[in-house]
Amino acid sequence: MKVLVAVKRVVDYNVKIRIKPDGSGVDTANLKMSMNPFDEIAVEEAVRWKEKGHAAEVVLIGIGPQAAQDTLRTGLAMGADRAVLVKTETETEPLAVAKLIAAVAKTEKPDVILLGKQAIDDDSNQTGQMLAALLGLPQGTFISAAKPDEAGRITVIREIDGGLETLSLATPCVLTTDLRLNEPRYASLPNIMKAKKKPLDVTTPADLGVDVAPRLALLKVAEPPTRKAGVIVGSVAELVDKLKNEAKVL
């Protein structure tokens, strides 16, 4: 079984972001960048499948500038076999990302495509679903457990509003990972050194025949409003009065 894993380079989740003075976006200058945490979980799951003999090859795909190679090398150090970088300086939206992954998937012909359920920078939670629709494949989203079997199917447990749902999916399929699926490993120094020699191919959206021109216009980015200080009330009657007449939630 071949597994294709999509990874995204984002601002590290430990970093406090800053809004540009003109409100045109997030200032990423001199900020630490790392792999999207949900994608890191996807890489870990694919590597575990390989270690258990379920997967023969794990291929990574990243989309972004030249610096995104560092993120792919991190995934290679975790245990992936090779990587593909779709090099572009354009800020890609979920639909464009889905089209690019679909184009690479048609060449790679993976049995499973693994993605994080969402990226922590835009929180769109759209790419996996769009990708499954473009390729006409079954999908399992928000998975918290997954188990391939000998019959070429994958049983997944996905988290839904009402609890947990268990699905059996035929391959090829698209899976998006949730936080509770696993805990990603730290790449060891020897594996980081080995990752530098693993194959990393570079292509472009033009080579894949995909138009990545933005379809959305970002109007403004602003800090959330500062929360007002709380008020201590003297009685239940006063609380009800404030909820009814000031907060107007009753």
Contact 26, 221 (CB under 8 A): yes
Look at the chain and report how many structural domains it folds into.
Answer: 1
Among residues 208, 205, 48, the alpha carbon closest in space to that of 114 is found at: 48
Q: Can you spell out the DSSP letters for 65-112?
A: STTHHHHHHHHHHHT--EEEEEE-SS---HHHHHHHHHHHHHHH--SE
| pLDDT value of residue 160 | 87
Instruction: Read off the tokens for 121.
Output: 């920078």
Instruction: Read off the tokens for 46.
Output: 């694919």
Pairing of strands 139-148, 57-64: unpaired
- Three-state DSSP at 240 gives helix
CA separation for the pair 182, 162 (Å, rounded) = 22
Backbone phi and psi for residue 166, each to the nearest 5 degrees, phi listed first: -105, 130
Residue 209 lies inside a defined structural domain of this protein = yes
Bridge partners (DSSP) listed for residue 177: 116, 143
Residue 12 lies inside a defined structural domain of this protein = yes
CATH number assigned to the domain comprising residue 154: 3.40.50.620
The sheet carrying 112-116 orders its strands as 163-170, 153-160, 139-148, 173-177, 112-116, 2-7, 57-64, 82-87, 200-203
The H or E element spanning position 147 is strand 139-148
* Residue of higher predicted confidence among 24 and 4: 4
Residue 55 lies inside a defined structural domain of this protein = yes
Residue 140 lies inside a defined structural domain of this protein = yes
Query: Position of tokens 């920078």?
Result: 121
Residue 250 lies inside a defined structural domain of this protein = no
Backbone phi and psi for residue 105, each to the nearest 5 degrees, phi listed first: -65, -35
Residue 249 predicted with pLDDT over 90: no
Q: At residue 113, what is the residue type?
A: I
CA angle 113, 59, 211 (to 5 degrees): 70
Instruction: Read off the tokens for 63.
Output: 């989309």
Residue 151 predicted with pLDDT over 90: no
Domain membership of residue 47 as a residue range: 2-245
**pTM for the full model?**
0.85
Query: Position of tokens 């959206």?
Result: 205
Residue 217 predicted with pLDDT over 90: no
Q: Sort 138 into a burial class: Cβ within 10 Å, 0-12 / 13-18 / 19+.
A: middle
Residue 20 predicted with pLDDT over 90: no
Residue 141 predicted with pLDDT over 80: yes
Residue 166 lies inside a defined structural domain of this protein = yes
Q: What is the mean pLDDT of residues 168-188?
A: 93
In the chain, pLDDT over 90 holds for what percent of residues?
71
Pairing of strands 33-35, 57-64: unpaired
CA distances from 204 to 33, 90, 210 (A): 22, 11, 9
Among residues 186, 187, 178, the alpha carbon closest in space to that of 39 is found at: 178
| pLDDT value of residue 225 | 84
Q: What is the mean pLDDT of residues 95-111?
A: 95
